[in-house]
Structure 1
Amino acid sequence: MNKPALWTKDFIGISFTNFLLFMTFYFLLVTLPVYVLNELNGTETEAGLATTVFLISAILIRFISGQWVEHFGKKNVLIASLVLFLAALIIYPFVSGLNALLILRFFHGIGFGMATTAAGAIVADIIPNSRRGEGMGYYVMSMNVAMAIGPFAGLFIMNKWGIGMGFTVCMTVAFISLLISFSLKKDEAASEKPAGKFKLDLSPGNLIEKSALPIALTGTFFAIVYSAILSFVSVYAQELHIGEAAGFFFVVYAVVIVLSRPFTGRWFDLYGANAIVYPSIVLFAAGMLLLSQAGGTGLFLIAAGVIGLGWGTLFPGFQTIAISKARPEKKALATATFLSLFDLGIGFGSFVVGIVAAGLGFKMLYAACAVYVLAGLIVYYFVQKNKTEPKHSPQ
């Protein structure tokens, strides 16, 4: 019997839209800290705050945007969010002060949070049930590829032509994603839904999935260290006088993730979560230690590969555990809970590590991160103690 089609026009369209959305996100994530430090004369703490504000607004809006999706329709919410996302990008070149930038980042984060929620809902409907794992694996891969191209393109363009050109590229990419969203098929559920006044339900059961909280909070614990890479590895590379290598850090990181995912996923199925998570935590810590000792391009990029193997395996593994613990009708909410708390860890971490970096310097910061990650072995042990391990591929 033939498999139902996966690579439909809508699946390719929403995956490419997701890729463009995250490429812009990562583009700005590594360039804005440098922009704040060099152009706005800000501090490391203020540079981290630019990321924190963005992610906090994305997290807050994600808790309620799911209800907007249900009431107004997935495509309508996606289009509205991408319009807001593009509008924010158009304003960036006209911002000349830190306070104005933080306000803009807040509204930009709202567009991002809405868009990622709507896109996730759309792809969940598009993928045939019999190819759910395969389809979601390819969809998530679009984020991994964006994680390589976005930072690399961002740092290359900024170093060669300046941040102004970077903003122009981001606007163009966001405009293309908006055009693609108009071509997506309208969800039938939205057109059949009777018109009525929207009423927001803020009851805890509609905002958070309790079964996912323990592993989601564990993911948040590690996300704080991940934020130290996303927000400041480009600044650290400049301090080491290897600024052009910063973009390649994310290329090596993402390539290792893409190459290792099939193997780690299969081992997760065969041996269970613990057999994969514990070694991955150790690898993550080893990568951070190597990063702290880097004095040139070689060790800097080796650290990228080790971190990619460690954290790149931990993240999908934690997400798989979170989803597996939820009832079937709560799996989408479990995913939202996990990702929201993960983003909270990134946002909070960007602010905290900025303070630590200002006091200790980047080498000591990354060395301290290695010790912190090892402490995560204890955190994970108590979260998973005496619990049945899920055996599903972390795709």
Structure 2
Amino acid sequence: MRGDGQKLWTAAFLLSIIANFFVVSILYLLMTTMALYAVERFQASDSVAGLAAGSFIVGALAGRIFAGKFLDFVGRRRLFLGALIILVIAALLYIPVNNLLLLLTIRTIHGVAFGAASTTLSASVMALIPAARRSEGTGYFAVSNTLAIAIGPFAAVLLVDAATYDVLFLVAAGCALAALIVGLFVRLPERTPTADERMHKWRMRWSDVFEPGALGIASVVFVAAIAYSGVMAFLNSYAQQNHMVVAASTFFLIYAGVALLSRFFIGRIQDRYGDNVVVYPMLLAFAIGLGLIAIASNGVVLLIAGAFLGIGFGGLLPCAQAIAITTAPLRRVGVTTSTYFIALDAGTGFGPLVLGALISAIGFEGMYAALAVLVLASMVLYHFVHGDKKYRQRVAA
């Protein structure tokens, strides 16, 4: 505990991190294998295979909007546990699926449950973190995301190669069940809606779905997510073209390891010295990493790029989430969290659609160079939406 007397490491906080790891692992276990599964199991075309992977994100966006708006009306614990139960059932339903339409339906439902569970937990855990340690605490919580990013795709490839897709689906169901068991012991802090909120419970204006105060930093996250989607979606293809497959298989482990290490000091620096001290260098590191990928002539350069992306994009995510929470009223934490993750999911999910066309026009190297320039431009965007403002104290509730 620090001298400010505010305790961060409580049982509820630790259990929330564990539960979040299992929830996020479901996304990365299935996202990296679902397109190939649709092709092998149902002879799907490339576009339909992409839809089989992306429909989960579409569902997640809907789940995040619902959770952001209604988590305090439904009850945070009730919504979280209900979503986890659906996650278990949906994962098991992949096994008997016998046609593409049913697969797409289950993927969408699975995504809705994931979005609701993730948003509810991420919003609720902010009440467990002392305000003076919000960036640090958010960074520690995001360690579970980093571990899931590293372990999920790696485990998925091993499971499909050594066993079957049915085993993969059982593991995904097991992750959901583990999250449910842990969630039973987590006492999420509840909040009672105000009389005005209850009066407008079913109103769905723009401001009821998105937090205006968080849209600025969310726009930066959206741009960054588009850039990172180019790595997630196309790095393996790029590596195969340039005979760097071994390095590409290690790339995400390097990325995750560096991102994990960064969580132990970046949040503290942000809490002490402000947002700009960490965000500008991280965006610069992100751009450098993308530039290195564009010019990578061997595996060593590619691995160095992974380290830069770990400190850049990997470090940016929890810092940006802390900024979003700080710039909005406490009573709007659910909508604020939803706004942040919608931007992240939208950039990650829809980025490859645009970047695929870009690759056809200018090649992989040109695409990664263009993304490096895009991230550099996002530094200017950040300056205007947040960098020239001072948000170190929460705005009034």
**Smaller-chain TM-score range?**
0.7 to 0.9
Native 8 Å contact 1:73 1:187 kept in 2: no
In the TM superposition, residue 79 of structure 1 has moved relative to its aligned partner by 1.7
Q: What residue identity is the alignment partner of 2:389?
A: T
Equivalent of residue 306 in structure 1, options 301, 305, 308: 308
Mapped pair 1:90 → 2:92: yes
Native 8 Å contact 2:139 2:318 kept in 1: no
Mapped pair 1:60 → 2:57: no
Residues 1:349 and 1:99: Cα distance change in structure 2 (over 3 Å)? farther
Native 8 Å contact 1:49 1:350 kept in 2: no
In the TM superposition, residue 247 of structure 1 has moved relative to its aligned partner by 4.6
Native 8 Å contact 1:34 1:235 kept in 2: no
In the TM superposition, residue 18 of structure 1 has moved relative to its aligned partner by 0.7
Query: What is residue 366 of structure 1 aligned with on the other side?
Result: 368
Instruction: Indicate the percent of aligned positions where both proteins have the same amino acid.
Output: 34
Unaligned stretches of 5+ residues in structure 1:
191-195
Equivalent of residue 202 in structure 2, options 200, 203, 208: 200
Query: What is residue 260 of structure 1 aligned with on the other side?
Result: 262
Query: What is residue 290 of structure 1 aligned with on the other side?
Result: 292
In the TM superposition, residue 326 of structure 1 has moved relative to its aligned partner by 2.3
Range moving further from structure 2, 357-366 or 113-122:
357-366
Q: CA RMSD in A?
A: 3.5
Q: TM-score by structure 2 length?
A: 0.82
Residues 1:170 and 1:10: Cα distance change in structure 2 (over 3 Å)? same
Query: What is residue 160 of structure 2 aligned with on the other side?
Result: 158
Residues 1:274 and 1:2: Cα distance change in structure 2 (over 3 Å)? closer
Mapped pair 1:326 → 2:331: no
Q: TM-score by structure 1 length?
A: 0.83
Query: What is residue 112 of structure 2 aligned with on the other side?
Result: 110
Residues 1:257 and 1:189: Cα distance change in structure 2 (over 3 Å)? closer
Residues 1:313 and 1:132: Cα distance change in structure 2 (over 3 Å)? closer
Q: What residue identity is the alignment partner of 1:211?
A: G
Query: What is residue 193 of structure 1 aligned with on the other side?
Result: none
Range moving further from structure 2, 162-171 or 306-315:
162-171
In the TM superposition, residue 104 of structure 1 has moved relative to its aligned partner by 2.4
Query: What is residue 388 of structure 1 aligned with on the other side?
Result: 389
Native 8 Å contact 1:66 1:117 kept in 2: yes
Residues 1:322 and 1:179: Cα distance change in structure 2 (over 3 Å)? closer
Residues 1:155 and 1:235: Cα distance change in structure 2 (over 3 Å)? farther
Query: What is residue 31 of structure 1 aligned with on the other side?
Result: 33
Query: What is residue 280 of structure 2 aligned with on the other side?
Result: 278
1:44-90 C-alpha deviation (Å, 9 max, x unpaired): 55454344322222122222224442233222211211121122211
Q: What residue identity is the alignment partner of 1:289?
A: G
Supply the distance in 1 between the matched residues of 2:274 and 2:30 (Cα, whole angstroms). Answer: 37
Q: What residue identity is the alignment partner of 1:388?
A: K
Supply the distance in 2 between the matched residues of 1:339 and 1:132 (Cα, whole angstroms). Answer: 17
Native 8 Å contact 2:134 2:271 kept in 1: no
Supply the distance in 2 between the matched residues of 1:129 and 1:54 (Cα, whole angstroms). Answer: 33
Summarize the alignment of residues 137-216 of structure 1 with structure 2, pairs less than 5 Å apart. 137-185=139-187, 200-216=202-218
Supply the distance in 1 between the matched residues of 2:213 and 2:149 (Cα, whole angstroms). Answer: 29
Supply the distance in 2 between the matched residues of 1:235 and 1:313 (Cα, whole angstroms). Answer: 25
Query: What is residue 229 of structure 2 aligned with on the other side?
Result: 227
Native 8 Å contact 1:270 1:391 kept in 2: no
In the TM superposition, residue 112 of structure 1 has moved relative to its aligned partner by 0.5
Supply the distance in 2 between the matched residues of 1:333 and 1:199 (Cα, whole angstroms). Answer: 13
Q: What residue identity is the alignment partner of 1:288?
A: L
Residues 1:22 and 1:165: Cα distance change in structure 2 (over 3 Å)? same
In the TM superposition, residue 278 of structure 1 has moved relative to its aligned partner by 3.1
1:221-280 C-alpha deviation (Å, 9 max, x unpaired): 221111222333344445555556545322211111122234433544565434433333
SS of residue paired to 1:200: coil
Supply the distance in 2 between the matched residues of 1:236 and 1:275 (Cα, whole angstroms). Answer: 33
